[in-house]
Amino acid sequence: MKTHPHHYEFTRRYGFYRPFVSVLTSGRILVIFFILTACEQVIDVELPYNKKIVVNAFVGDEFGVAWISRTVPIGTDASSQSSAIMDAEVKMKWQDSIYILGKNYSSNTFLFPTVDSRWQGDSLTLMIDWSGMHAASTARMPKPSKIKKVYLKPGEDPYDVSYLYAVIEVDAGVVVWTDYSIWRQPEAPMGFGRIPFFFEGDPDGVMREIEIYIMSNYNDVQPGSEIELSVYTADRVYNQYLKNRYHNNNEPFTFGGTNPQFNVTGDGIGLFIPVSVQTQRLVVE
């Protein structure tokens, strides 16, 4: 399975949404006629209030933090301090084991236990109880992807940049993304900023090899260079969220917004994403 490297870059830059929105909100669309006549006013209208627990939780080898907060009505201030609900009870369940997450009041976070390798390939359930409300999410922690090789692929013409690719072996229905250090000294992970790559794969759970784009190479990497590569693997639900997370617009010409696709159910919204991490040092081919 191959992907065009620029797919990621264009998606990242535009999300195929921004140009249209920028056109609409730049005040030029619908012509001078509308601009001359249209008027906006602050209105006193009572919008509905949907009280929800908000979950933002990632558990993996290098991280294991849950931010638990709540929604507040439109018109009130929402801040990480004011909306955090540290009096919530947060538990994680794996098979028959239940783990109660600890609290870090200085950062308003709940802390996951250290990852148990037995969790990989199995489902984890996060449960939150707060003020008579209950939210939960069950998600799979995929098996970690295996990095087979890293290599350079030349561009289409002699003046083009080359591209760094990796061949990895992944589980079906997962999202993978990479982080790398091209120097001999590894750098700190870049977190979740990189564009993930979704592999649909076969639903039979058999691991497949895929070719994944890592970066455009401006002569920083040569064959024989050493690189430390981390591959992060999460369940497909993360991909569903990523694909529409920017649809959350509410502007004059966008007819309301849509909520991202979360995987928390019950009285809550948000994400619970278990992540497997595989880090290897490899020689570029």
Structure tokens at 227: 């690189």
User: Candidates 91-99, 118-126, 167-175, 251-259 — which segment interacts with other proteins by CB under 8 A?
Assistant: 251-259
Q: Among residues 44 and 96, whose Cβ is nearest to other proteins?
A: 44
Q: Does 188 bind other proteins (CB under 8 A)?
A: no
Asked whether 54 and 70 are in contact (CB, 8 A), the reply is yes
Give the per-residue contact string, 200-239, with other proteins (x = CB under 8 A; - = no). Answer: ----------------x-----------------------
**Please, which of residues 32-71 interact with other proteins by CB under 8 A?**
32-34, 37-45, 47-52, 54, 56, 67, 69-71
**Please, which of residues 95-154 interact with other proteins by CB under 8 A?**
108
Give every CB contact of residue 224 below 8 A, 6+ residues apart in sequence: 283, 284
Q: Does 14 bind other proteins (CB under 8 A)?
A: yes
Report in angstroms how near the CB of residue 283 gets to other proteins at its nearest.
27
Q: Among residues 48 and 203, whose Cβ is nearest to other proteins?
A: 48
Report in angstroms how near the CB of residue 116 gets to other proteins at its nearest.
26
Among 60, 144, 270, 274, binds other proteins (CB under 8 A): 270
Cβ burial, residue 55 (10 Å; 0-12/13-18/19+): buried
Number of residues that bind other proteins (CB under 8 A): 79
Report in angstroms how near the CB of residue 224 gets to other proteins at its nearest.
26
Give every CB contact of residue 141 below 8 A, 6+ residues apart in sequence: 59, 119, 120, 121, 122, 123, 124, 235, 274, 275, 276
Nearest-Å Rg of the Cα atoms of the chain is 22
Among 74, 98, 100, 190, binds other proteins (CB under 8 A): 74
Give every CB contact of residue 247 below 8 A, 6+ residues apart in sequence: 17, 257, 258, 260
Structure tokens at 99: 């783990």
